Structure 1
Amino acid sequence: MTLSVIVQLCALLTISQQAASSPSCVCDLTSSEQPFPHDKLSSVEDGAAKCTGSITRQKSVELDSLLLGLQRRLPQLETDVSVLEREDDGELYGAVSLQVIENELTEILQLMNKLNSTTLAHSRLTSDTAQQVQDLKVEMQQLEVYDSMQVVKSQQDNQRLKRDLDQCRKGHHPTTQPTLVGCPASGICPHGHFLNVTGPRVYTAGEYPGSYKYGSWGRDPKPEAGKENWYWLVMLTSSNVYSNYVRRYSSLSSLIIGVSVPGNVQIHSSNPTTNTIQGPSAVLYGEALYYGCYNRDAVCRFNLTTKSVTSVQLPKGTRFNSKGNFCHLDECYPFTDLDLATDESGVWVIYTTTQDFGNLVVSRVEEGETPTINQTWHTSLYKQAVTNTFMACGVLYATRYVSKDAEEIFYSFDTSTGVERFDVGIQIQKVSGNIYSLNYSPPDQMLHAYSESHMVSYKVVFG
């Protein structure tokens, strides 16, 4: 190596050492703004979440249900007292009528006690929540001080402008009246056109809160004398698929507070076995329970008086044993192959067959000790795109899942004209994520839903 190269290397090493030993440059940043209190914002978010969780739709519906039960119970008590007065022979009242009134007074007292405790709890909840909301409002106003760029204020101004614009538009364009859904021209619909569904009007967990996820309930559209106000309940007590009895209640208030009189009417001592109930869809009509037969593509009829079971075979190719269920994108409802329904004209069964490629089929079940299939209609609606069906005035309606809070009646099929519609567009507000059975009750024009162990009902609006 030459001397000139060694000298250049030594010079380079000296320069690099000097550069490495030079001091680093540090800048101090001073902000005139106060640090944002993230812990306080987290506290406000937690408080808002607690308020949202404590005030729910279920709590208000629970109170409405109790009031409705009491409202229907008192007129019945007046009627029974009138019967008792007529039976007075001057010295001795009818012992049977006295016992009936005593039972009714006991039920009314239970209902009022539950109503009083629920009202007191709601009053405390309202007071506590109002104070929490006021505290949250003060804290949010304090946090707005840190909004130096006026983002929140701008958002509030935009919301006010949008609200004013919507009101202006509505003023120039009146709200369109709902499209009428036709009832049959044969005159079996005395209420008019199906317009809307409101509610829920009744919401109760009954005697066994949270115990039985699948089932059905409602009223008999053709009751025996003296049973006009009775309700029935079928819970799938074995594997969420099978049941061997129907439970009866003498009034709506009895069902709400969970007092079953006269109790169970048993189909068979074993569960499951031949003739027991399979699937969550059952209906009571003319003191007989109609339901999907155990392990068969047939409709069973259980006479509650004689305790006898008869059945009618459905067409060849009918899907059963959980092969033709109601579904939505996230799940299918097991063993919903056969959907029984009642309306003003009688009993119906909705199902699908291999010949119909999975589309809905609806058949009328004729009354009689041995039921028969009278007429059958075929639709173009795919069954697994549907979550539930029901009949009203001879018209088939189908629902679909919208969200955990809403279901939509989107489809109708008029059996008198054969006209199908896919634009019905009526919303049902849910109290639980899924409705496993849905049936229309002609006596009070209500939709009775069994929703994840809860009994819920909605008012049908006709016009």
Structure 2
Amino acid sequence: MMLYVIVPFCALFTFTLQAATRDVKCTCELTYSETAFPHGKLSTAESNASKCNSKITPQKTLELERLLLGLERRLPQLQEDVSMLEKENDGELYGALSLQVIENEMKDIKQLIDTLNSTTQENLHLTTDTTKQLEDLKAEMQELERYDTMQVVMSKQDNQRLKTDLDQCRNGLHPTIQPTEPQHGKCPHRQFLNITGPRVYTKGEYPGSYMYGAWGRDPKPQAGKENWYWLVLMTSSNRYSNYVRLYSSLSSLIVGVSVPGNVQIHSSNPTTNTVQGPNVVLYGEALYYNCYNQDAVCRFNLTTKTVTTLQLPKGTRFNSKGNFCRLDECYPYTDLDLATDESGVWVIYTTTQDFGNLVLSKLEEGEPPTLGQTWHTPVYKQGVTNTFMACGVLYATRYIDKHMEEIFYSFDTSTGVEKFNIGIFIHKMSPNIYALNYSPVDQMLHAYCDSHMVSYKVLFG
């Protein structure tokens, strides 16, 4: 039996047996006939593979997509502005404001095209270089396979192929049943991937005058008002407002021409049922906001000019006691954050019972609105700078520095799944974002930053 054990090693080792005359002693000389494994080459291959992974990232594709989406939006807008200019022709005298808007649009489009061309060239060079590196890596790995004399790697590859064939056979016998619900909750756009750089950046009608405010679009507009925008400015002590300002187009908002103008909630500011805090939204021709001096949501009907209120649960923090904060500074009177998405209106707040953590409630439409389902999160509100909703998912942001904000947290109301590592960054045009609203009409994120209005495109996929 021992002979059968020793035989396979004869190819690798040579044994020499020496016997002394008096005491029997055995001496074994081992000669290793295999070539030493080149660990240095393997380390080099791993390093090169790591460099390839660091160069080829999803952000490269998203950057191109961001630029193409920018052109997709800007070109129709330019065409619309040119058409408006042609209508304004009055004896060969064109509107100066319209000409200014078109000039700005053309500058932005040229900048986008230049950036797109340079990015495409960079990606082309990167693709060429990476292809060469991958071919070299493949050759190195095939060279290293020669040292696999025990055929361990080859056996693993064969097993993997067999497993793949078996899986395909099983799937062929039992076809996969397609899910009846979308993979990512109820979102028609699939998963939130990223946001682009600023698409709109304007100081608007009152540059530098009102630090706090909010703006956006009505996700459920009346017929004929699909392109309208709204703006609410905190015109008293950076805390209060008593009207909503309307613009018939984005161009009108950019150049500061308000048509039809203001819709007033009350002649006094502040007073009962006027606006307190910048976190407001417009939905279905009604403005939703934190009622002045109350732990309640007000709904102002722009058509009937009437206000109805919804009392929030007992213990809800208000009057600047449950604010959004960054570092050692808080944003005053941001206790209640109203948000819109594909399904309607939401309110984000905190209560004493939740020890300052974020609470999310769905608002059901009506006059007055009613409080629907409520969710409680473990996220401390004063560690958050802003929140918004998209496709039934709550997103929270935090301050990184004066140039960057991070979307770091999400909570999916349809699945109950929460994530703390979203890692999507917002490039800011001003240090502070006081209001952040998502528009499901065009999947844009509208930010109000230190009197500037900025918008970003949300990328799904």
TM-score normalised per structure 1: 0.65
Report the 3-state secondary structure (helix = DSSP H, G, I; strand = E; otherwise coil) of the residue aligned with 1:341: strand
Equivalent of 2:384 in 371, 383, 386 = 386
Equivalences for 1:325-404 in 2 at 5 Å?
325-404=323-402
* 2: CA distance, partners of 1:237 / 1:403: 27
Cα distance, 1:244 vs. partner? 0.2
Report the 3-state secondary structure (helix = DSSP H, G, I; strand = E; otherwise coil) of the residue aligned with 1:281: coil
Q: Which residue of 2 aligns with 1:189?
A: 187
Question: 1:290-331, CA deviations, whole angstroms, 9 ceiling, x for partnerless residues?
Answer: 000000000000000000000100000000000000011131
User: For the aligned residues, what is the CA RMSD?
Assistant: 3.4
Equivalent of 1:74 in 79, 89, 99 = 79
Equivalent of 1:110 in 97, 122, 135 = 97
* Gap runs ≥5 in structure 1: 1-63, 82-97, 124-163, 173-182
| Aligned AA (1:275) | N
* 1: CA distance, partners of 2:233 / 2:360: 24
Residues 67 and 115, structure 1, Cα contact 8 Å, conserved in 2: no
Q: Which residue of 2 aligns with 1:312?
A: 310
Structure 1 pair 118/69, CA: closer, same or farther in 2 (3 Å)? Answer: closer
Structure 1 pair 106/196, CA: closer, same or farther in 2 (3 Å)? Answer: farther
Question: 1:172-219, CA deviations, whole angstroms, 9 ceiling, x for partnerless residues?
Answer: 7xxxxxxxxxx9769641111100011110000000000000000000
Aligned residue pair count: 330
Residues 298 and 309, structure 2, Cα contact 8 Å, conserved in 1: yes
Q: Which residue of 2 aligns with 1:220?
A: 218
| Aligned AA (1:201) | R
Residues 247 and 261, structure 2, Cα contact 8 Å, conserved in 1: yes
Structure 1 pair 221/118, CA: closer, same or farther in 2 (3 Å)? Answer: closer
Q: Which residue of 1 aligns with 2:31?
A: none
Residues 107 and 253, structure 1, Cα contact 8 Å, conserved in 2: no
Question: 1:122-145, CA deviations, whole angstroms, 9 ceiling, x for partnerless residues?
Answer: x9xxxxxxxxxxxxxxxxxxxxxx
Q: Which residue of 1 aligns with 2:295?
A: 297
Q: Which residue of 2 aligns with 1:270?
A: 268
* 2: CA distance, partners of 1:103 / 1:249: 22
Cα distance, 1:226 vs. partner? 0.2
* 1: CA distance, partners of 2:294 / 2:340: 21
Equivalent of 1:204 in 184, 202, 205 = 202
* 1: CA distance, partners of 2:276 / 2:270: 8
- Which 4+ runs in 1 deviate beyond 4 A? 64-70, 101-109, 117-120, 183-187
Q: Which residue of 2 aligns with 1:285?
A: 283
Does 109-118 or 332-341 show the bigger shift?
A: 109-118
Equivalences for 1:70-219 in 2 at 5 Å?
71-72=76-77, 74-75=79-80, 101-102=87-88, 109-116=96-103, 188-219=186-217
Cα distance, 1:116 vs. partner? 3.6
* 2: CA distance, partners of 1:229 / 1:107: 23
Residues 339 and 389, structure 2, Cα contact 8 Å, conserved in 1: yes
Report the 3-state secondary structure (helix = DSSP H, G, I; strand = E; otherwise coil) of the residue aligned with 2:237: coil
* 2: CA distance, partners of 1:262 / 1:434: 30
Report the 3-state secondary structure (helix = DSSP H, G, I; strand = E; otherwise coil) of the residue aligned with 2:328: coil
Structure 1 pair 330/65, CA: closer, same or farther in 2 (3 Å)? Answer: farther
Report the 3-state secondary structure (helix = DSSP H, G, I; strand = E; otherwise coil) of the residue aligned with 1:402: strand
Cα distance, 1:389 vs. partner? 0.2
Report the 3-state secondary structure (helix = DSSP H, G, I; strand = E; otherwise coil) of the residue aligned with 1:280: coil
* 2: CA distance, partners of 1:260 / 1:71: 22
* Gap runs ≥5 in structure 2: 1-68, 111-128, 138-180
Question: 1:106-125, CA deviations, whole angstroms, 9 ceiling, x for partnerless residues?
Answer: 997513225548989xx9xx
Residues 279 and 334, structure 1, Cα contact 8 Å, conserved in 2: yes
Q: Which residue of 1 aligns with 2:407?
A: 409
Equivalences for 1:4-43 in 2 at 5 Å?
none
Residues 395 and 414, structure 1, Cα contact 8 Å, conserved in 2: yes
Structure 1 pair 418/410, CA: closer, same or farther in 2 (3 Å)? Answer: same
| Aligned AA (2:348) | I
Question: 1:20-60, CA deviations, whole angstroms, 9 ceiling, x for partnerless residues?
Answer: xxxxxxxxxxxxxxxxxxxxxxxxxxxxxxxxxxxxxxxxx
Cα distance, 1:369 vs. partner? 1.9
| Aligned AA (2:220) | K
Q: Which residue of 1 aligns with 2:456?
A: 458
* 1: CA distance, partners of 2:70 / 2:189: 24
Q: Which residue of 2 aligns with 1:431?
A: 429
Report the 3-state secondary structure (helix = DSSP H, G, I; strand = E; otherwise coil) of the residue aligned with 2:254: helix
Q: Which residue of 1 aligns with 2:150?
A: none
Residues 185 and 414, structure 2, Cα contact 8 Å, conserved in 1: no
Q: Which residue of 2 aligns with 1:154?
A: none
Report the 3-state secondary structure (helix = DSSP H, G, I; strand = E; otherwise coil) of the residue aligned with 1:334: coil
* 1: CA distance, partners of 2:227 / 2:348: 27
Report the 3-state secondary structure (helix = DSSP H, G, I; strand = E; otherwise coil) of the residue aligned with 1:310: strand
Report the 3-state secondary structure (helix = DSSP H, G, I; strand = E; otherwise coil) of the residue aligned with 2:198: strand
* 2: CA distance, partners of 1:268 / 1:196: 40
* 1: CA distance, partners of 2:401 / 2:459: 23
* 2: CA distance, partners of 1:388 / 1:459: 17
Equivalent of 2:245 in 230, 247, 251 = 247
* 2: CA distance, partners of 1:401 / 1:290: 26
* 1: CA distance, partners of 2:133 / 2:410: 35
